Amino acid sequence: MRKTDLVKFKRIFTEQRDQLLINVTFADDNLITRPEDKDEVDQANADIEQSMRMQLKNRETFTLKKINEAIHRIESGTYGQCESCEEPIEVRRLQARPTTTLCIACKEEEEKLSASVVLGHRSTHLH
C-alpha cells in the first residue's frame, strides 16, 4: 500500500476516533440517572430512552475499538494485509470498509462458514 494511502487512512481514523471519544464521553454523562419523581409513563419513556442511549454508546465503543485496532495496524505496518491469507486487501475494499481485516475472498469464505454453521444448527433443531 502506498504511504500516501496510509497517511490518509490514519488521518481519517484519527478524526473519527476523536469524534467518537467526544460522543462516548457525552453518552456517559447522559447515562447517569437523575432521580426525579415520574409517573409510570414518564418512567417507561425514560427507560426506553436510556436503553437507546446505552445501545448507541455500545455501538460507538465497538467502532472506537475497531478504529484503534486499525491505527495500531497502520503503525505496525500490517494495515491493508489480510489477517487470514496475508495477501494485500484491495484499496477499494479498504475505502468501503476501512477497519476490515480480511480481503474479500477470505470474508466471503468466513460468511459461507458462518452460514453453514447457522444452517447446520437450524437443521438439527428442526429434526
> How many domains does the chain divide into?
1
Q: What is the pLDDT of residues 75-121, one digit of tens each?
A: 999 999 999 999 999 999 999 999 999 999 999 999 999 988 877 66
State which residues form the domain around 16.
Answer: 3-79
Give the closest residue to 79 by CA, choosing from 63, 64, 95.
95
Domain assignment present for residue 44? The answer is yes
Domain assignment present for residue 119? The answer is no
Hey, how many other C-beta atoms are within 10 angstroms of the C-beta on 27?
16
Domain assignment present for residue 98? The answer is no
Exposed (0-12), middle (13-18) or buried (19+): which is 79, by Cβ within 10 Å?
buried
Domain assignment present for residue 93? The answer is no
All 3 cell numbers of residue 78? 500490517
Domain assignment present for residue 25? The answer is yes
Domain assignment present for residue 46? The answer is yes
Residue 125 pLDDT level (bands cut at 50, 70, 90): very low
pLDDT value, residue 37: 62
Domain assignment present for residue 94? The answer is no
Question: Rounded to an integer, what distance in angstroms lies between the CA atom of residue 114 and that of residue 1?
Answer: 30
Domain assignment present for residue 108? The answer is no
The SS3 call for residue 29 is helix
